[in-house]
Amino acid sequence: MGYPVRALGVLVAVIALFLVAKWVAGPAYLGLFDTDRSQNVELWASKPLQYADVDRECASCHGERVETWQKAAHQNVSCESCHGPAESHLSSGVSLAIEEPAELCIRCHAALASRPVSQPQVNVEEHAGPIACTACHNPHQPSLAGPPTVPHSLEGREGWCTVCHGATGVKPFPEDHAGRTSGVCLTCHQSPGYVSPISTPTGPSVEPTQPAGPPIIPHSLEGRSECTACHGLTGFKPFPADHAGRTKEVCLACHNQQ
């Protein structure tokens, strides 16, 4: 009768001794391997973002770009697909300018046999050669149907585009065109039926200060300095609708006297 009780006593004593020893001198990892991982789930869920996933929010600062993009073929391509993770841009204004745009274009649009046929693809060498993609394509509105055609005659006006359409001209080009010279305009802006007499469209090396001019003024200007009296939107020979807001001071910049 005494033996089983003694054995049990020894067992209990050994377990108790082990627990005490573990508590006092056991290594830190003992008991660490519990099965409850709920804290770890929280930890994973709390990791910081790099990609912000806020395409719509981009519009609060970059409204015009976003509007263009939303209407164009790239509307399903997220801002961050090309511009990269935007969280740092949102929190501390790190620039998201794209350094090598062509590399991004090629990623998706170089001709590859493995790509679905529905994907627009070009043989880059044949299609563009050394010309940068962005010389013709606006990444926010990549289709070439995009840039407006030249609505007026180019007779005697080729190479003088920036006189009227430069940043300070009467009908300036968009801000992102800054720095472009007259020689490149016709690469993208087509003029139906016009054949360039200039073999190499390089344009004048020094930008001219006098326009070659849209329609010349067929009448004398004696006592007629108030152009908009007759040619304003409500006049009896109104100027085109896209001239709205122009004042008499600028008419002679483009329209020469007889």
Distance CA(117)–CA(130), nearest Å, equals 25
SS3 22: helix
Q: Establish if 67 lies at the interface with other proteins (CB under 8 A).
A: no
Based on the shown chain and the rule CB under 8 A, indicate whether residue 92 belongs to the binding site for other proteins: no
Decide if residue 69 touches other proteins (CB under 8 A).
no
6, 37, 152, 224: residue in contact with other proteins (rule CB under 8 A): 37
- 18/51 with CB nearer other proteins: 51
Size of the site for other proteins (CB under 8 A): 34
Q: Do the beta carbons of residue 132 and residue 106 sit within 8 Å?
A: no
125 belongs to the binding site for other proteins (CB under 8 A):
no
Binding mask 44-63 for other proteins (x = CB under 8 A): xxxxxxxx-x----------
Q: Which of 146, 153, 139 has the alpha carbon at shortest distance from 100?
A: 139
Give the DSSP letter of residue 149. Answer: P
Does residue number 220 form part of the binding site for other proteins (CB under 8 A)? no
Residue type, 89: H
C-alpha separations of 50 from 4, 80, 87, 88 in Å:
66, 10, 5, 7
Question: Could you tell me which residues come within 8 angstroms of residue 247 by beta carbon, excluding any fewer than 6 positions away?
Answer: 228
Which stretch, 29-37, 142-150, 186-194, 211-219, contacts other proteins (CB under 8 A)?
29-37
The residue ranges that bind other proteins (CB under 8 A) are: 32-33, 35, 37, 40-41, 43-51, 53, 74, 76-78, 80-81, 84-85, 106-108, 110, 112-116, 119
